[in-house]
């Protein structure tokens, strides 16, 4: 019957996302896992020697690099984003929010390569002149990524703050608290899980970002000791060398992809769990 | 007159709760049959069981037999059944679109594409619903701009467009002004010869005005069914009497 | 000494407003900078000309064509799958293990980094399925990337269609498929279109997934099996290799304008959507 056919077709469509996800995981792991097991996960993850053409596959510098850059981005972008979300939720006049929100979402539409470009032209020289070092650094990457995660942090935190029931806030105001006190003592704690979710999601975005980071981070194969030193992240590693890698080298890049995939998957799972815990 | 709808030992439950218990009822052709009773008596559920609309809700189950023209409704092709037995809801629900499109929707689904035929149907049903004069110049305008009473008459016309044999109305005049109410009642009287009407209403006076026979439902049970005259003057059951005189409601 | 709460609030207000203003300044700075430096390059010769000397001179027409092909094909592939998923989730199922799996797939897909999509598209479409670097490989990869967005917005749009409309259609003798095609989807259209447009914007901006699947050939693509370089990829190469700064700015500006226009469309559609049900 036509109805049954229609339903079956729709079911097939519905399974496409899960199938795609499965295929992605399958292929990445299929191409990348063998190498990890051949040289041993401990060697892969904890060695600092990355020289794929000579058979050395240690990605520790990249893992550390990704973490450093991401944490910095979270500190910068998270606080700035939260500040904006608080302003939009509690203090900005209603009419302005309708203009400001789309504008901030525009930040999300700017391609990452453009961010990287501006970073190279403006931020990197600025850092070099004022703080020293080559300019291409953890700091530069952290700042650029911090800006890039702003829309995520703002949007989700704003939703979380707005989801706090009006009655809570009115109750607080009714006993004479100021709006700031209400926000600080009541709304923020109530929206905690949503805000944390936004930060975790932003973290996932930051770790996964490639193009902008490549352009401003310097991509040196070291474990940076200061934010002014250049750094290479997991994503940059893959993107930079994929163009000319073959054989074992290519396997190693897929292996890097495996590690990245797992990290992001874990982060997103935590974020989803945090989002499920409502007010 | 023939039996149009026969209901035997019908019981309906939803999510385990009993909504209708052991209903036995017949509805005759070309009569206006009213179902009265307080809220949550199962009246709406009965209508939705007749046209099997209740099957779109998960969690329901039914036992017993329900026959249309002698054939169990479960054996009817469900789309044919729903065209044969039309349902008009309590709140008028025009579909977003023009007045013409609203009425042509049903026939189009059935496969009627001929523009002339559709126009005929639109005019014919709008006249039957006493709406033609008010909207004949603006069939291409949005149906959402009509008043409540006009929208409800539109919904009646929309149902009539499928040439049903039974028209079920679920509290069609709730929230409507007296003039629209009177028009709808007039339509029922005029169209009785062509259709069978089942009217669910909370308005006892309306039931007294238009019905041939009346059934009184209370908490999912059929308490009494008889001619309108008897129900409203010498009801057999005390509960019927209480409801009609407003002592319960 | 306890400071008065109102004073604290005023301070906080200023601080937060300042920070928000700062955020906006960043946005305007980026757009302004690119615009100022890029406008001189946006000439008809640039927009409609062919690149010469690997992009050092000449125009960027092939990249514009490539971007359009790639984005449109990605939409064509992703929309039926996404809308179909949304319809299935809302119309045919109740919350169950199956729906949770479907939703998990969509949510998880949304979080995958673009470079992983690049690796995936490369190994599956370019290598295993032997499509080579091609618009087709790129579009398929992009389609998977934007699928979650379309599913999410379509589902929301479908849910806002009042249930009563469906009941009306059923009671007029409509089948489920007829009801979906004639009542539900047309009324959900503005929301669905918004999702499509957002997906379009994402496809235009994407670089990492595209460069490893569609390649970076500057030749004018003639079919979907040809490799192609999109504007975003072209911009990246120009900027990183330092090939031509003016053209880099011009390409960036064109990119930003395209995305702004696309986003604006999405917003106008959203406005019209909320107006309908007022």
pTM listed for this prediction: 0.88
Please tell me the predicted confidence (pLDDT) of residue A278: 54
Residue among B56, B91, B105 minimizing CB distance to C172: B105
CB C265 within 8 A of CB C275: no
Query: For residues B66 and B49, what is the distance between their CA atoms, to the nearest angstrom?
Result: 9
Query: For residues C129 and C121, what is the distance between their CA atoms, to the nearest angstrom?
Result: 10
A208/C114 touch (CB, cutoff 8 Å), yes or no: yes
The SS3 of residue A118 is helix
Please tell me the predicted confidence (pLDDT) of residue C276: 58
pLDDT per residue over C201-222, tens digit each? 999 999 999 999 998 888 888 8
Report yes or no: A257 at the C interface, CB cutoff 8 Å: yes
B95/C183 touch (CB, cutoff 8 Å), yes or no: yes
- ipTM for this prediction: 0.91
Residue position matching structure tokens 């906006």: C24
Q: Is the pLDDT of residue C271 over 80?
A: no
CA distances from B8 to A111, A241, B23 (A): 68, 78, 6
Residue among B82, B91, B96 minimizing CB distance to C171: B82
A112/C255 touch (CB, cutoff 8 Å), yes or no: no
Report yes or no: B105 at the C interface, CB cutoff 8 Å: yes
Report yes or no: C94 at the B interface, CB cutoff 8 Å: yes
Widest pairwise Cα distance in chain A: 73
pLDDT, chain B, mean: 90
Please tell me the predicted confidence (pLDDT) of residue A279: 43
Residue among C173, C178, C183 minimizing CB distance to B83: C173
Query: For residues C274 and A111, what is the distance between their CA atoms, to the nearest angstrom?
Result: 29
Q: Is the pLDDT of residue C3 over 70?
A: no
Give the mean model confidence (pLDDT) for residues A162-187: 84
Confidence of residue C43 (pLDDT cuts 50, 70, 90): confident
The SS3 of residue C266 is helix
Please tell me the predicted confidence (pLDDT) of residue C275: 65
Please tell me the predicted confidence (pLDDT) of residue A270: 83
Q: Is the pLDDT of residue A60 over 60?
A: yes
pLDDT per residue over A133-167, tens digit each? 888 999 999 999 999 999 989 988 988 888 888 88
CA distances from A241 to A52, A91, A214 (A): 10, 48, 11
Chain C residue closest in CA terms to A83: C16
Backbone angles phi, psi at B216, to 5 degrees: -110, 120
Please tell me the predicted confidence (pLDDT) of residue C103: 87
C173/B162 touch (CB, cutoff 8 Å), yes or no: yes
CA-based nearest distance A48→chain C, Å:
23
Residues of chain B with Cβ-Cβ distance to C162 below 8 Å are 93
A18/C6 touch (CB, cutoff 8 Å), yes or no: no
Chain B residue closest in CA terms to C169: B106
CA distances from C170 to A11, B57, B103, B163, C173 (A): 22, 12, 14, 16, 5
Residue position matching structure tokens 């603006």: B138
DSSP string, A254-275: HHHHHHHHHHHHHHHHHHHHHH
Please tell me the predicted confidence (pLDDT) of residue C71: 95
3-state percent helix, strand, coil for chain C, nearest multiple of 5: 80, 0, 20
Please tell me the predicted confidence (pLDDT) of residue C53: 80
B95/C173 touch (CB, cutoff 8 Å), yes or no: no
CA-based nearest distance C150→chain B, Å:
24
Least confident residue range of A251-265, B121-135, C14-28, C90-104: C90-104
pLDDT per residue over B159-211, tens digit each? 999 999 999 999 998 888 888 899 899 988 989 889 999 999 988 889 999 99
Number of A–C residue contacts, CB under 8 Å: 241
Report yes or no: C178 at the B interface, CB cutoff 8 Å: yes
Confidence of residue A277 (pLDDT cuts 50, 70, 90): low
pLDDT per residue over B56-68, tens digit each? 888 889 999 999 9
Confidence of residue C278 (pLDDT cuts 50, 70, 90): very low
Report yes or no: C73 at the B interface, CB cutoff 8 Å: no
Q: Is the pLDDT of residue C5 over 80?
A: no
Please tell me the predicted confidence (pLDDT) of residue C95: 78
Please tell me the predicted confidence (pLDDT) of residue A187: 86
Range among B135-144, C20-29, C65-74 rated most confident: C65-74
Query: For residues A65 and A140, what is the distance between their CA atoms, to the nearest angstrom?
Result: 13
Give the mean model confidence (pLDDT) for residues A214-236: 90
Q: Which residues neighbour A138 within 8 Å (Cβ) at sequence distance 6 or greater? A: A65, A68, A69, A72, A217, A224, A226, A227, A228, A229, A230, A231
Query: For residues C16 and A95, what is the distance between their CA atoms, to the nearest angstrom?
Result: 17
Report yes or no: C166 at the B interface, CB cutoff 8 Å: yes
Give the mean model confidence (pLDDT) for residues A182-209: 87
pLDDT per residue over C66-81, tens digit each? 999 999 999 999 999 9
B110/C173 touch (CB, cutoff 8 Å), yes or no: yes
Residue among B58, B96, B109 minimizing CB distance to C172: B109
B82/C170 touch (CB, cutoff 8 Å), yes or no: yes
Q: Chains C/B: 3 or more C-beta pairs closer than 8 A? A: yes
Please tell me the predicted confidence (pLDDT) of residue B1: 67
DSSP string, C188-219: HHHHHHHHHHHHHHHHHH--HHHHTTT----S
C172/B106 touch (CB, cutoff 8 Å), yes or no: yes
Q: Is the pLDDT of residue C85 over 90?
A: yes
Residue among B51, B91, B96 minimizing CB distance to C171: B51
Q: Which domains does chain A have, with CATH numbers?
A: 61-276 (1.10.3720.10)
Residue among A23, A181, A211 minimizing CB distance to C208: A211
């Amino acid at each position: 019957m036509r109805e049954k056919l229609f339903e079956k077709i729709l079911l097939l469509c519905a399974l496409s996302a899960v199938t795609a996800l499965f295929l992605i995981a399958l292929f990445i792991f299929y191409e990348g896992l063998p190498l990890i097991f051949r040289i041993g996960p401990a060697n892969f993850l904890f060695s600092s020697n990355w020289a794929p053409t000579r058979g050395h596959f240690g990605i520790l510098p990249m893992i550390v690099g990704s973490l450093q850059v991401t944490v910095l981005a979270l500190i910068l972008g998270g606080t700035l984003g939260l500040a904006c979300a608080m302003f939009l939720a509690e203090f900005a006049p209603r009419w302005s929010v309708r203009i400001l929100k789309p504008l901030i979402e525009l930040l999300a539409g700017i391609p990452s390569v453009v961010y990287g470009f501006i970073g190279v032209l403006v931020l990197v020289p600025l850092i070099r002149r004022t703080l020293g070092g080559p300019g291409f650094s953890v700091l530069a990457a952290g700042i650029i990524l911090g800006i890039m995660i702003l829309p995520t942090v703002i949007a989700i935190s704003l939703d979380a703050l707005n989801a706090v029931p009006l009655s809570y806030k009115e109750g607080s105001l009714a006993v004479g608290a100021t709006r700031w006190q209400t926000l600080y003592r009541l709304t923020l704690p109530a929206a905690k899980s949503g805000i944390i979710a936004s930060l975790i999601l932003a973290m996932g975005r930051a770790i996964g970002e490639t193009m902008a980071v490549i352009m401003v981070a310097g991509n040196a194969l070291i474990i940076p000791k200061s934010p002014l030193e250049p750094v290479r992240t997991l994503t940059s590693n893959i993107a930079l060398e994929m163009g000319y890698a073959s054989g074992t080298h290519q396997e190693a890049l897929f292996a890097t992809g495996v590690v990245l995939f797992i990290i992001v998957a874990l982060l997103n799972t935590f974020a989803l769990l945090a989002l499920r815990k409502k007010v | 007159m023939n039996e149009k709808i026969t209901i035997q030992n019908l019981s309906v439950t939803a999510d385990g709760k009993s909504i209708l218990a052991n209903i036995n009822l017949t509805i005759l052709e070309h009569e206006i049959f009213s179902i009265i009773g307080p809220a949550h008596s199962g009246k709406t559920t009965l209508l939705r069981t007749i046209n099997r609309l209740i099957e779109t809700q998960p969690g329901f189950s039914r036992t017993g037999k329900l026959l249309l023209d002698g054939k169990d409704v479960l054996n009817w092709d469900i789309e044919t059944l729903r065209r044969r037995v039309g349902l008009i809801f309590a709140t008028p629900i025009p579909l977003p679109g023009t007045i013409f499109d609203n009425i042509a929707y049903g026939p189009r689904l059935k496969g009627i594409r001929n523009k002339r035929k559709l126009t005929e149907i639109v005019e014919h049903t709008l006249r039957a619903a006493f709406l033609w004069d008010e909207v004949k110049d603006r069939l291409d305008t949005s149906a959402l701009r009509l008043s409540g009473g006009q929208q409800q008459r539109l919904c009646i016309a929309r149902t009539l467009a499928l040439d049903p044999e039974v028209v079920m109305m679920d509290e069609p005049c709730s929230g409507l002004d007296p003039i629209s109410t009177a028009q709808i009642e007039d339509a029922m009287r005029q169209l009785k010869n062509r259709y069978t009407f089942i009217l669910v209403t909370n308005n006892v006076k309306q039931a007294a005005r238009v019905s041939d026979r009346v059934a009184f439902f209370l908490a999912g049970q059929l308490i009494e069914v008889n001619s309108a005259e008897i129900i409203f003057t010498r009801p057999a059951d005390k509960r019927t009497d209480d409801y009609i005189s407003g002592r319960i409601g | 000494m306890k400071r008065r709460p109102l004073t604290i609030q005023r301070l906080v207000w200023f601080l937060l407003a300042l920070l928000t203003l700062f955020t906006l300044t960043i946005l305007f700075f980026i757009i302004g900078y690119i615009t100022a430096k890029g406008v001189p390059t946006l000439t008809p010769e640039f927009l409609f000309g062919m690149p010469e000397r690997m992009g050092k001179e000449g125009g960027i027409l092939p990249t514009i064509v490539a971007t359009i092909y790639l984005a449109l094909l990605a939409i064509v592939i992703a929309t039926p799958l996404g809308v179909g998923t949304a319809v299935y989730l809302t119309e045919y199922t109740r919350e169950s293990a199956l729906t949770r799996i479907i939703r998990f797939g969509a949510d998880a897909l949304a979080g995958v980094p673009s470079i992983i999509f690049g690796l995936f598209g490369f190994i599956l479409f370019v290598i295993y399925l032997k499509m080579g670097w091609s618009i087709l490989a790129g579009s398929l990869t992009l389609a998977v990337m934007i699928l979650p967005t379309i599913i999410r917005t379509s589902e929301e749009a479908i849910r806002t269609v009042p249930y009563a409309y469906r009941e009306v259609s059923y009671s007029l003798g409509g089948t489920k498929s007829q009801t979906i095609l004639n009542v539900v989807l047309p009324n959900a259209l503005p929301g669905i279109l918004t999702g499509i447009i957002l997906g379009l914007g994402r496809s235009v901006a994407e670089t990492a997934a595209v460069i490893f699947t569609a390649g970076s050939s500057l030749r004018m693509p003639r079919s979907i099996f040809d490799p192609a370089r999109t504007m975003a990829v072209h911009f990246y190469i120009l900027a990183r290799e330092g090939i031509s700064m003016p053209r880099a700015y011009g390409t960036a500006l064109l990119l930003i304008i395209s995305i702004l226009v696309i986003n604006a469309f999405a917003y106008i559609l959203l406005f019209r959507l909320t107006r309908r049900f007022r």
